[in-house]
Amino acid sequence: MAEDRRTRRSRRALAAALVELVLERGFTALTVEDITERADVARATFYAHFRDKEDLFARVTSDLLAELGERLAPAVADSAVGFTGKPVLEMLRHAREERDLYRIVLRGEGDGKPLQMFVDACARATAGEFRARAERNAVQPRIDPELLARVWVGEQVAVLRWWVEQDTPALPAEEVVRMLLDLAMHGRYWASGFDTPN
């Protein structure tokens, strides 16, 4: 029990040190020694849990995705019929709480691998939900769910990155979600100010 607590504490300290240092110096410039020194954790402890700094970053990203998945589950369930915006709002709230970690992932630090993990996981979950929603509502998607999910997630990631990079977000999360819902329902043509052609 004490060992588990110590392990969790060490992992949390290493994750926090990674995030702080990447924001300060960038991932490429970091060494394992920099991370362990900042975390006040022995190098042997680091290597007992991680192969290298890339492995640490991948684990931190996996943990972020697992936490996000748990947070999104109730919002996705509430969106069974159609687009409610609740999952996007929950993701923005999570990003606000974990802003620094989202910033380094979404910037593509670590040769873009954590960003790819994030996008792939979100796209898989989204495609699955799009398929399930179509089935539940007995509709046939007009665009392949995989492609549709990639488009949707690409937009969300672009908006999310823009949103977390601002010291004070220009728009509150609820307003961002309202606009994204309008875009999803009416399309880009309408969002640009044009009337839908007959």
Domain 1-50, CATH class in plain words: mainly alpha
Q: Is it true that domain 52-191 has CATH number 3.20.20.70?
A: no
pLDDT of residue 2: 59
pLDDT of residue 187: 85
pLDDT of residue 84: 82
pLDDT of residue 80: 62
Stretch(es) of the chain classified as CATH 1.10.357.10: 52-191
pLDDT of residue 113: 97
- The count of other CB atoms within 10 Å of the CB of residue 2 is 6
How many H-runs (helices) and E-runs (strands) does the chain carry? Answer: 9, 0
pLDDT of residue 79: 64
d(CA 91, CA 121): 14
pLDDT of residue 134: 87
pLDDT of residue 6: 87
For residue 32, CA distances in Å to 102, 110, 113, 138 come to: 21, 14, 18, 53
Model pTM score = 0.90
pLDDT of residue 81: 63
- What is the DSSP secondary-structure string of 37-68? HHHT--HHHHHHH-SSHHHHHHHHHHHHHHHH
Profile the chain (198 residues) by mean pLDDT over runs of 10 residues: 80 97 97 98 96 98 96 81 83 95 97 97 92 88 92 94 90 92 86 79
pLDDT of residue 1: 57
Stretch(es) of the chain classified as CATH 1.10.10.60: 1-50
